[in-house]
Copies of this chain bind each other. A is one copy, B any other.
Amino acid sequence: MNKQSLGPKVLTLPTPVLMVGTYDQAGKPNIMTVAWGGICCGQPPCLNVSLRKATYSYNCLMERKAFTVGIVHKSQMRQADYFGMASGREVNKFAATGFTPVKSDLVDAPYAAEFPLVMECKLIQHTDLGLHTIFIGEIMDTKINPDCLDDSGKPDPLKIDPFWFAPEARQYYSTGESLGKAFSVGQPFMAKK
Contacts and interface: CB of A to CB of B under 8 A. Distances in A.
A1 B146 CA distance: 8
Given A14-B162, A193-B95, A74 B179 contact: yes
A101 interface: no
A37 B18 contact: no
B6 A142 contact: yes
Interface in A21-46: 35-46
Interface string A1-23: 11111111111111110100000
A139 B71 contact: no
Contact of A81 (B12, B170, B185): B185
A112 to B, nearest CB: 11
Contacts of A80: 186
Contacts of A129: 40-41, 44, 46, 136
B130 A127 contact: no
A99 to B, nearest CB: 10
Q: Which of A2, A12, A39, A129 has the most CB of B within 10 A?
A: A12
Interface of A: 1-16, 18, 35-48, 50, 52, 69, 71, 74, 77-86, 91-92, 95-97, 113, 117-119, 125, 127, 129-132, 134, 136, 138-147, 149, 154-158, 160, 162-190, 192-193
29 contacts: A3-B143, A4-B146, A6-B143, A8-B45, A8-B139, A9-B45, A9-B139, A10-B139, A11-B71, A11-B142, A12-B39, A12-B71, A14-B175, A16-B38, A36-B40, A40-B48, A44-B130, A79-B186, A81-B187, A82-B190, A84-B183, A84-B186, A85-B187, A92-B193, A127-B127, A129-B136, A154-B169, A170-B183, A174-B179
